Amino acid sequence: MTSKWFCSWYQCQGRCGEGWQRRQVDCIDHDGEPGDKCDPESRPADARRCDMNCEEELATHDGETSVANPYS
């Protein structure tokens, strides 16, 4: 079995209006361990623009994310 790309978006960061959202992109094998058989051509983007409304700006976000086994 080959490895797969696994990623999870962090919270949108910025002020009211436009912000940036980032994610960590990892190649994971079928055991949930770091893999080396992911196709680099299909690697997902690790950043994108996002909209941050004024109410979301007041909330605090620590940017943590958890990595789950994508084969479970």
| Confidence tier at 1 by pLDDT (50, 70, 90) | low
Number of domains in the chain: 1
For residue 70, being part of any structural domain is answered with no
Residue 55 scores a pLDDT above 80: no
| Confidence tier at 26 by pLDDT (50, 70, 90) | very high
Rg, C-alpha atoms of the chain: 15
Name the residue range of residue 20's domain.
4-58
For residue 63, being part of any structural domain is answered with no
Contacts of 22 (CB under 8 A, 6+ apart): 9, 10, 13, 46, 47
For residue 64, being part of any structural domain is answered with no
Residue 30 scores a pLDDT above 70: yes
Angle at 60 between CA 57 and CA 64, to 5 degrees: 120
pTM of the complete model beyond 0.75: no
For residue 19, being part of any structural domain is answered with yes
For residue 69, being part of any structural domain is answered with no
